[in-house]
Structure 1
């Protein structure tokens, strides 16, 4: 291999590492302070200039899109592990839920910001939910749905909606470590009822579902299998 090829490879690797460092710094900063933060502050957090941020991401929107894509990929990956890996994986994730605080907080800020990027973010989250839920069905760990797309959207919006409500009611935290503690408290409070509801259900029989299926004009075809 020529020395020029080696140099180019090293430069490319260094560039990727710098871009990832900027992205990670942006996720932390935007999660804490929202998207009004300028590129200069993000660059300072990453130990680079605002010009270098622009070099790698082109614009502030480009940086946000890169952050969105990374955060969504982490959420998708961890959810896929949970829906296909069985109880041991879920318990392990619950044991270290604090580690997901930067990702969760960034996702909340993205939705709070509103606009086209927030809509795209939520739509992708729903599409990802469909993917990992169907993977769980294929593994035999989740029950199938009469309407998989609607179920995925419901679960994704419910999950983010509950976190958005929590953040709205607890605006006092100022650092990511504060959110780590609060995220642990939140999950300690909801883990049991959530798992109970998902595992055992709420109604004692399917009367309510049957009545609804008779009520709607065009119910989903077929029946979900147990």
Structure 2
């Protein structure tokens, strides 16, 4: 399954290697070596090292690409003039399976790189939320950074738990079916909560803000 956001015929060598690495790491985990990535990209291992310097450099490039796609797509949906953009994205949700597989492997692996990826994701979420606020599509927040962190934790946590419960082990193909099933299951309640809210009044929020004024 191709990585969204690029056209195969237009990829230069560096981009082709990076996209192959996203697929390989998502399917095999980060124990997969440079040789496996090189084979998937149709290049020599030496060429991978030439472009990225090391496996860590390659992973950083993959992180950057995955984050850029997520932020770009979310921003497009939240700033669109009609819900049609959202419906198109939902119809094509399976195409994001390689990215989901890559993110799952990243957070399963843990460590410094996963922590860095998470912080970059939070920053990305804050960026596209700000764009939505500026366009008048989203309500402003008392603490935009905290809201972005909460939504990132909520989204990643629910996705990781859902996939763990399904015990997906077959890379992009399995994740494609899983994220379709998950989206179909949670989209209505998610939109309902985000649009209409849950509490019938502001008493709990008011009490908390009064108790924790900072």
The corresponding residue for 1:132 is 128
Number of residue pairs aligned between Structure 1 and Structure 2:
204
The corresponding residue for 1:156 is 152
Matches within 5 A, 1:56-205: 56-85=51-80, 86-205=82-201
Distance in structure 2 (CA, Å) of the matches to 1:109 and 1:173: 10
Residue 110 of structure 1, CA deviation: 1.4
Question: Residues 64-105 of structure 1, C-alpha deviation per residue, up to 9 Å, x if partnerless?
Answer: 001001001001100111111142211111111111111122
The normalised TM-score by structure 1 is: 0.86
Distance in structure 2 (CA, Å) of the matches to 1:172 and 1:79: 25
Distance in structure 1 (CA, Å) of the matches to 2:153 and 2:130: 17
- Runs (5+) with no aligned partner, structure 1: 1-13, 220-226
1:24 alignment partner, one of 16, 19, 25: 19
Structure whose CA Rg is larger: 1
Q: CA RMSD in A?
A: 1.4
Residue 167 of structure 1, CA deviation: 2.4
Q: Secondary structure at the match of 2:43?
A: coil
The corresponding residue for 2:29 is 34
Distance in structure 2 (CA, Å) of the matches to 1:172 and 1:129: 26
Q: Secondary structure at the match of 2:12?
A: helix
Relative contact order, higher structure (CA 8 A, sep 6+): 2
Distance in structure 2 (CA, Å) of the matches to 1:175 and 1:136: 32
The normalised TM-score by structure 2 is: 0.91
- Write out the 4+ residue segments of structure 1 that deviate beyond 4 Å after TM superposition: none
The corresponding residue for 1:55 is 50
Distance in structure 2 (CA, Å) of the matches to 1:132 and 1:179: 25
Question: Residues 88-128 of structure 1, C-alpha deviation per residue, up to 9 Å, x if partnerless?
Answer: 21111111111111112212211221111111111111111
- Could you tell which deviates more after superposition, 118-127 or 82-91? 82-91
